[in-house]
Chains A and B, each alone.
Chain A
Amino acid sequence: MRHVISVLVENKVGVLARITSLISGRGFNIDSLAVGETEDPDLSRITIVVRGDDSILEQVRKQINKLIDVIKITDFTNEEFVERDLMLLKVNCPVGKRSEIIEIVDIFRGKIVDVGQRDIVIEIAGVEEKIEAMLALLRPYGIKELVRTGSIAITRGVR
């Protein structure tokens, strides 16, 4: 099943390689991965989305936890959490289609961040389903380029 794993690590060279090699070493493909500094610049947060057998992933989680530079690892699967993915996409956009596309983007609360002669760059954040839904509507116009950050996740405040 799909697991969203959040790893708090020391902001040091090689940490990411250690973690990803533990996951790939077990033959799991990483669906997405996002890394960034936290409120403390000495620490980074890595969010990994991976699909696989629960018991094997539990073993991987324990092994990641053993890495010296890993401070904490949480599997959000059985927790209440908020998840977001950011996407930038460049869509074919002849002048006549501009308002149609902007309308779609508005419905999904996306943003137009650049407009060119023949294309338009859109920014959208949200859960995977929302991003996929907007993507499906824009696909007929022709998607020239697409880039995603991968999911980031955080637990909800109230427990």
Chain B
Amino acid sequence: MIRTGSQILINALIREGVEYVFGIPGGAVLPLFDVLYESPIKFMLTRHEQGAGHAADGYARATGKVGVCLATSGPGATNLTTAIATAYMDSVPMVAITGQVKTFLIGNDAFQEVDIVGITRPITKHSYLVKDVKDLARVVKEAFYLASSGRQGPVLIDLPVDVTMAECEEIVPPEIDLPGYKPTYEGNIRQIKIAAEVINNARRPVLYTGGGIIASDSTKELLELAEKGNIPVTTTLMGLGGFPEDHDLSLRMLGMHGTAYANLAVTESDILIAIGSRFDDRITGKIDEFAPNAKIIHIDIDPSSISKNIKVDIPVVGYARNILRELNKYINFVERKEWFDKIKQWKEQKPLAYDNSGDIIKPQYVIEQICEATHGEAIITTEVGQNQMWAAQYYTYTKPRTFLSSGGLGTMGYGFPAAIGAQLGCPDKIVVDIAGDGSIQMNIQELSTAVRLNIPVKVVILNNGYLGMVRQWQELFYGKRYSGVYLNGNPDFVKLAESYGAKGFLIEKKEDVRPTLEKAFSIKQPVVMDFRVDPSENVFPMVPAGQPIHQMIGTMA
């Protein structure tokens, strides 16, 4: 049957099982919107394309499905770039569709023209400029396959408006043929057996796991490995929820703001087993002193992650779930009493703690109360900075896809639109964006989206009147010369919420924290909570940049 490019695109999206498309229309995508008008795909109009991108990302992280966003050419496309980069750094499956000027105008500085394929080249897994309508169905199929396979990531499709209007015979694309793309899924058996033997003989092993555990749905296999082998587990920020933090073997998070006991255990380990993690500088601190006595086993889907930052002794490239299933066959239970005694001692001497004795609301207390009030069953999204670190430290994550945060790029403004996407993907969950008063203002316009579409996300603003993390660094490392961090002129967040049609609460007393949270979680509409927290509170423990991770400041002992 003869169809237009727009019809072919929308049909292809339907074939891929797309439920939601997040975006904003414009001149170059008008024909697409005309087809969307009567399609079963629900179009979610955001108020800024960055919000659309992050919402698609939040939907993808919460559900494991591919998130889809759509923007017009020029500024619509450039507004998507931060969201695309965010998804790229955290390996999130996403397909971004941008309109483009007519093919014969490309390169002519036409109205709302920008070379978005060129701009996004370093921040996409792959990209397409479709110049012939006959390629469109195949391109969409490839894009979804690329986004969701191997090391996942965003794929961009740039669509000139004349291609969306051109007609051709609609064909269902044949099997995918990408000779240059063959991700390794099965690990090398010999390497796996060597790894198993090394693990079985380890006296002080530590599992250090990242977002790859969640992306590959390997939490069950990881739990089995940890329990079967009797190995403590620390996770990265991206790996939170990959291993239950209420488990005896959990060391919680490691790295710059990780627990003292996780960092000490990694430093003293003799075997470090990294799975789906990439030895980021926020994890390793000073690289020469990271796990100095450990032999390193690295399981990862991406061969370019192996020995990138740190030399790996036993690499196993492949899909974590497949490798762990195989590895678990050869793992023996080893008691390692001495090692666990030592860890127990660290946990007792240097717990994750803060001083909650005063009347003032501590931000950590708010996070703990969110965890208790939701029984740890909520989906937490975060912005970036102190709010993000406290959310990581003081909420106990036990399930995958319940902590959504911009780990790699560190995008302020991520959490709120991501919460909207997550809530659409998981309508029965309580979804909470933990924000700072600075970062919430970077995408606050999406309140309008949440209200109009009746998406009942909850926003917790830990309002300290500062760009808190930068203030903390200036306090500790720049002689308290507070430069450009004081947020005078903050709006009245309650009134602001109300003006959008959301509920707003101001919380200034400690005893009001829990009741307000309970009330907010029972309301089936968007709620903004403005918690006035201690402005001088810092995130501890902390490894100063460039220091080894066992040299932390601000541990309680």
A residues bordering B, Cβ < 8 Å?
Answer: 9-10, 13-14, 17-18, 21, 25, 59, 62-63, 65-71
29 sampled A-B residue pairs with Cβ under 8 A: A10-B179, A10-B180, A13-B129, A14-B117, A14-B121, A14-B127, A14-B129, A17-B121, A18-B121, A21-B121, A21-B122, A25-B122, A62-B303, A62-B304, A63-B304, A65-B303, A65-B304, A66-B302, A66-B303, A66-B304, A67-B126, A67-B180, A68-B126, A68-B146, A68-B178, A68-B180, A68-B181, A71-B179, A71-B180
Flag if B118 contacts A17 (CB, 8 Å): yes
CB-CB nearest in chain A for B181: A68
Q: 9 shortest A-B CB distances, which residue pairs?
A: A62-B304, A71-B180, A68-B126, A68-B181, A70-B180, A63-B304, A69-B180, A71-B179, A68-B180
A-B contact count (CB 8 A): 36
Docked CA distance A51–B551 (Å): 38
Q: Interface 1/0s, chain B 143-170, versus A by CB < 8 A?
A: 0001000000000000000000000000
Q: Which of B410-460 contact A (CB under 8 A)?
A: none
Q: Is B125 in contact with chain A by the CB < 8 A criterion?
A: yes
CB proximity of A73 to chain B, nearest CB, Å: 10
CB proximity of B439 to chain A, nearest CB, Å: 28
Docked CA distance A21–B127 (Å): 14
Across-interface contacts of A25 in B (CB, < 8 A)? 122
Q: Is B329 in contact with chain A by the CB < 8 A criterion?
A: no
Across-interface contacts of A63 in B (CB, < 8 A)? 304
Docked CA distance A134–B122 (Å): 41
Docked CA distance A21–B146 (Å): 21
Across-interface contacts of B178 in A (CB, < 8 A)? 68
Docked CA distance A14–B127 (Å): 9
Q: Which of B75-121 contact A (CB under 8 A)?
A: 117-118, 121
Across-interface contacts of A9 in B (CB, < 8 A)? 180
- B interface secondary structure, majority: mixed
Q: Is B308 in contact with chain A by the CB < 8 A criterion?
A: yes
CB-CB nearest in chain B for A43: B179
Docked CA distance A5–B327 (Å): 36
Docked CA distance A46–B121 (Å): 19
Docked CA distance A3–B179 (Å): 25
Docked CA distance A14–B122 (Å): 13
Docked CA distance A17–B304 (Å): 20
Q: Which of B286-310 contact A (CB under 8 A)?
A: 302-304, 308
CB proximity of B142 to chain A, nearest CB, Å: 8
Docked CA distance A66–B126 (Å): 10
Docked CA distance A14–B119 (Å): 12
CB proximity of B94 to chain A, nearest CB, Å: 16
Docked CA distance A71–B129 (Å): 20
CB-CB nearest in chain B for A8: B180
Q: Which of B164-216 contact A (CB under 8 A)?
A: 178-181
CB proximity of B1 to chain A, nearest CB, Å: 29
- Tell me which of B117, B126, B303, B304 has the highest count of chain A C-beta atoms within 10 A of its own C-beta: B304
CB-CB nearest in chain B for A22: B122
Docked CA distance A66–B125 (Å): 9
Flag if B125 contacts A59 (CB, 8 Å): no
Across-interface contacts of A18 in B (CB, < 8 A)? 121
Docked CA distance A13–B103 (Å): 14
Docked CA distance A64–B370 (Å): 45
Docked CA distance A65–B302 (Å): 11
CB proximity of A37 to chain B, nearest CB, Å: 16
- Tell me which of A14, A17, A66 has the highest count of chain B C-beta atoms within 10 A of its own C-beta: A66
Across-interface contacts of B302 in A (CB, < 8 A)? 66
CB-CB nearest in chain B for A67: B180
Docked CA distance A13–B127 (Å): 11
Beyond A14-B121, A17-B121: 15 further Cβ-contacts under 8 Å?
A10-B179, A10-B180, A14-B127, A21-B121, A65-B303, A66-B302, A66-B303, A66-B304, A67-B180, A68-B126, A68-B146, A68-B178, A68-B181, A69-B180, A71-B180
